[in-house]
Chains A and B, each alone.
Chain A
Amino acid sequence: MNLQQAGIPGEFHETVEIQGHIMDSLILPKILDCITSGGGSFRIVQVNIGQTRKDPSYASIEVSAASQETLDRILATIGDHGAASVAGHDCHVVLADCDGAFPEGFYSTTNQRTEVRLNGHWIEVDRQEMDCGVAVDVPQGIATCVPMSDVRSGQSFVVGHAGVRVHPAGRHAQARGFEFMNSQVSTEKPKGIATAQVARELARCHRSQQEILVVAGPAVVHTGSGEHLCKLIRGGYVQHLFVGNALATHDIEQALFGTSLGVKLESGNIVEAGHEHHLRAINRIRRLGGIRRAIAQGELTRGIMYDCVQHNVDFLLAGSIRDDGPLPEVITDALEAQREMRRRIQNVSFCLMIATTLHSIAVGNLLPASVGVVCVDINPSTVIKLSDRGSFQTVGLVTDVEPLLRGLVADLQETIG
């Protein structure tokens, strides 16, 4: 039997957990057999095998069946063999005994909508994010995702899987306008249709005043598509822009010198001493005290960063170890940058990631599964990496940035004007 999954996935699900010496006693295979012979299917969510013969093992299993009746019958049968529904109990809460680390056995979150049971009531977990713990304020009845670095001694955290239920986003909810693209990464899909679907999603968010986040890499500038992004910003299609030092630097380099990495964007010619342009750009902005001041003083008059400031787009520059300068607005403390991103994504409902691996993964890690994500990169591995890290709601689009942004602008032409 395939231990990962068996049977046909059904519509009704329940997660159960079982612990003890479930391998040597053959209880786990027995339970799995009971599920399939009872007309259900299963997915093993987690298995921790004891290190020695005396150590207990643990398994968390999602049981599925085509009807609630079948599911109930299976749950009753496997319940006798020790498989307890995690939904049947309050969550187990343990106090953090130090700063910056969870109690042992902490419940590790997914990016899916999650609820925890407190005093018999199900509480929605706030700030859903993968790879966090769930802090619980028992008297207030509040549960919140908290990253490891933000743990404070004395906070209560959910331990184990009991009293925790996760609501996987249905395929329909994830697909939204992207039925055609699905979540497969492919270099062989017609880009025009995909671009039109992204444009429709942007237009939908725009109409319903939902926030759109764009995460972008410097290739946007290098490929000469900066102006397309500017048009989207000016058209109100970007509420948040998360980038690194590089995009802002080359955007400003282009604004000040007409080059990106020393290459004249209009002609493609390499400018003499052009490789110094980006450093000179950073230096000038640093001398002026930052991007906003440079704009206020009339020194910076165009480009992506300029349009962000002019149109009140919330931008965040997160630093990296290889940054030149960096620009004064760059947050160089990685944890602080994460915290800022977390704070700003709370109302985002759609995210477009363009040509950046690290920033895409970083933001992907923070977004709940309910936020639609389209990741565009010329390199399929970026999109695959993002999905591998759990941002499975990501729709991948393998294409060059310039035609995509040009296509988006063309499709949204009416509103952009």
Chain B
Amino acid sequence: MNGQPHLLMCPPQYYGIEYEINPWMSRARQVDHDLAKQQWESLHRIVTERGARVSLQSPVQGLPDMVFTANAGLVYGDMVVLSRFRHPQRQGEHAENSRWFAQHGFTVFDLAPEMYFEGAGDALFCGETLFAGYRSRSDMTSHQKVAELVGQSVLAMELVDPSFYHLDTCFCPLAPGVAAYYPGAFDHYGQQVLKAGIETLIEVSRDEAQAFACNAVVVGQVVVTNVGCPRFHHTLRDHGFIPIATPLGEFVKAGGSAKCLTLRLDGEEAAAWRMDPQLKVVTTKPPRS
């Protein structure tokens, strides 16, 4: 608890636009593999330099989106609720994720196959509440089940703009009681839920949200995003955070950015359970293979 931040990342060896499952993806607009590798390595370096330990998941050919480890599952203490992907193109990742978490000391929980749940892509703790997005990828039934599993308040919000298909594309918890969000991604009910549930809510403009401002990795006070969101960075500084911009344009082509490329394994900075002495956190080093 409260030890070294621990992230899971997956090198972009087999990353590419092989299918189109969100409005950002176009097979006509292919990835520059060298540039993608470079951008991924920059992100890896930034988070490592800022004190995070990074575990690596081995990439698998034919599963290009494995690079987006945020969608592998939802971590709560030493338990992980594995993702059940909506699109068949990503369903092959399930077995890989299951194996990785089991080998690394996690208690793996598998939802029923008919449920759709896309892990930390759609379920993010802020304080003692798990905010959850549904409709586009995850469904309500899975969030109800997750609420049972984690025993925390789970507030589900409908995602109404197809461009912001995962909650982590339009909502970013920064610290307990502090989060950034793009209001246009939510309906009236969702906006009310966020306003009522989060003390300090930083509004992100549409253009910066489209530059994936909300898809940020938070390590301590450091907030790493794609480039192209200067106003958001300015606001972050006003709130005492240290924003860092790093180009991630090759991943935006697939609808992902900094947050999507990482999965926090010891609890996000904003998650109150990180500080809970009752919860066991997996800290063991990965086995040598």
Q: Real complex partners, A and B? A: yes
Is A344 an interface residue when CB atoms closer than 8 A count as contact?
no
Inter-chain contact A25/B144, CB cutoff 8 Å: no
Q: What residues on B are CB-neighbors of A283 within 8 Å?
A: none
Residue of A nearest to B142 (CB): A82
CB < 8 Å neighbour of A82 from B141, B153, B197: B141
Is B53 an interface residue when CB atoms closer than 8 A count as contact?
no
Bound complex: CA of A189 vs CA of B192, how far in Å?
53
Bound complex: CA of A53 vs CA of B141, how far in Å?
19
Inter-chain contact A21/B153, CB cutoff 8 Å: yes
Bound complex: CA of A405 vs CA of B139, how far in Å?
62
Inter-chain contact B152/A56, CB cutoff 8 Å: no
Q: What residues on A are CB-neighbors of B158 within 8 Å?
A: 30, 81
Q: What residues on A are CB-neighbors of B134 within 8 Å?
A: 80-82
Residue of B nearest to A27 (CB): B156
Bound complex: CA of A273 vs CA of B226, how far in Å?
103
Q: What residues on B are CB-neighbors of A272 within 8 Å?
A: none
Give the shortest distance, in Å, between B271 (CB) and chain A (any CB).
15
Residue of A nearest to B147 (CB): A20
Inter-chain contact A84/B153, CB cutoff 8 Å: no
Inter-chain contact B154/A20, CB cutoff 8 Å: yes
Is B155 an interface residue when CB atoms closer than 8 A count as contact?
yes
Inter-chain contact A20/B135, CB cutoff 8 Å: no
Inter-chain contact B140/A81, CB cutoff 8 Å: yes
A75-94 at interface with B (beta carbon < 8 Å): 80-82, 84
Give the shortest distance, in Å, between A204 (CB) and chain B (any CB).
49
Residue of B nearest to A52 (CB): B153
Inter-chain contact B189/A56, CB cutoff 8 Å: no
Bound complex: CA of A82 vs CA of B157, how far in Å?
11
The tally of CB-CB contacts under 8 A between chains A and B is: 56
Bound complex: CA of A262 vs CA of B208, how far in Å?
94
Residue of B nearest to A54 (CB): B153
User: Given contacts A26-B189, A26-B192, A29-B189, is CB(A21)–CB(B154) below 8 Å?
Assistant: yes
Bound complex: CA of A80 vs CA of B141, how far in Å?
9
Is B151 an interface residue when CB atoms closer than 8 A count as contact?
yes
User: Given contacts A20-B143, A24-B197, A25-B193, is CB(A56)–CB(B148) below 8 Å?
Assistant: yes
Inter-chain contact A80/B140, CB cutoff 8 Å: yes
Q: What residues on B are CB-neighbors of A30 within 8 Å?
A: 158, 189
User: Given contacts A54-B151, A80-B139, A82-B156, is CB(A24)–CB(B193) below 8 Å?
Assistant: yes
Give the shortest distance, in Å, between A51 (CB) and chain B (any CB).
12
Bound complex: CA of A82 vs CA of B154, how far in Å?
13
Bound complex: CA of A336 vs CA of B196, how far in Å?
55
Give the shortest distance, in Å, between A303 (CB) and chain B (any CB).
63
Inter-chain contact B151/A26, CB cutoff 8 Å: no
Is A19 an interface residue when CB atoms closer than 8 A count as contact?
yes
Inter-chain contact A26/B135, CB cutoff 8 Å: no
Give the shortest distance, in Å, between A254 (CB) and chain B (any CB).
65
The interface size bin for chain B is 20 to 34
We find that the number of chain A residues with CB closer than 8 angstroms to chain B is 16
Q: What residues on A are CB-neighbors of B154 within 8 Å?
A: 20-21, 25
Q: What residues on B are CB-neighbors of A24 within 8 Å?
A: 153, 155, 193, 196-197
CB < 8 Å neighbour of B152 from A54, A80, A82, A84: A54
Q: What residues on A are CB-neighbors of B153 within 8 Å?
A: 21, 24, 53-54
CB < 8 Å neighbour of A21 from B141, B155, B192: B155
Bound complex: CA of A30 vs CA of B147, how far in Å?
19
Inter-chain contact B193/A26, CB cutoff 8 Å: yes
B130-175 at interface with A (beta carbon < 8 Å): 134-135, 139-141, 143-144, 147-148, 151-158
Give the shortest distance, in Å, between B66 (CB) and chain A (any CB).
28
Inter-chain contact A82/B189, CB cutoff 8 Å: no
Bound complex: CA of A56 vs CA of B128, how far in Å?
14
Q: What residues on B are CB-neighbors of A29 within 8 Å?
A: 189
A55-84 at interface with B (beta carbon < 8 Å): 56, 80-82, 84
Q: What residues on B are CB-neighbors of A80 within 8 Å?
A: 134-135, 139-140
Inter-chain contact A84/B197, CB cutoff 8 Å: no
Inter-chain contact B192/A82, CB cutoff 8 Å: no
Bound complex: CA of A53 vs CA of B157, how far in Å?
17
Inter-chain contact B155/A19, CB cutoff 8 Å: no
Bound complex: CA of A27 vs CA of B192, how far in Å?
11
CB < 8 Å neighbour of B147 from A26, A56, A81, A84: A56
Inter-chain contact A25/B155, CB cutoff 8 Å: yes
Inter-chain contact B141/A84, CB cutoff 8 Å: yes
Residue of A nearest to B155 (CB): A25
Q: What residues on B are CB-neighbors of A84 within 8 Å?
A: 141
Inter-chain contact B152/A20, CB cutoff 8 Å: no
A19, A82, A84: residue with the most chain B Cβ atoms closer than 10 Å: A82
Q: What residues on B are CB-neighbors of A54 within 8 Å?
A: 128, 151-153
- Encode contact with B along A7-49: 1 for CB under 8 Å, 0 otherwise: 0000000000001110011110110000000000000000000
Residue of A nearest to B197 (CB): A24
Q: What residues on B are CB-neighbors of A27 within 8 Å?
A: 140, 156, 189
Give the shortest distance, in Å, between B65 (CB) and chain A (any CB).
24
Q: What residues on A are CB-neighbors of B148 within 8 Å?
A: 56
Residue of A nearest to B154 (CB): A21
Q: What residues on B are CB-neighbors of A20 within 8 Å?
A: 140, 143-144, 147, 154, 156
Give the shortest distance, in Å, between A181 (CB) and chain B (any CB).
46
Give the shortest distance, in Å, between A59 (CB) and chain B (any CB).
12
Inter-chain contact B140/A21, CB cutoff 8 Å: no
Give 9 closest A-B pairs by Cβ, nearest first.
Answer: A82-B140, A25-B155, A20-B144, A26-B189, A30-B189, A53-B153, A25-B156, A54-B153, A21-B153
Q: Which residues of A contact B (CB under 8 A)?
A: 19-21, 24-27, 29-30, 53-54, 56, 80-82, 84
> Can you list 7 A-B contacts with CB-CB less than 8 angstroms, sorted by A residue number?
A24-B153, A24-B196, A25-B157, A27-B140, A27-B189, A80-B140, A84-B141
Q: Which residues of B contact A (CB under 8 A)?
A: 128, 134-135, 139-141, 143-144, 147-148, 151-158, 189, 192-193, 196-197
Question: Assuming A21-B155, A82-B156, what are 13 further A-B pairs, CB within 8 angstroms?
Answer: A20-B147, A20-B154, A21-B147, A21-B156, A24-B155, A26-B192, A27-B189, A30-B158, A53-B128, A54-B128, A54-B153, A80-B135, A82-B141
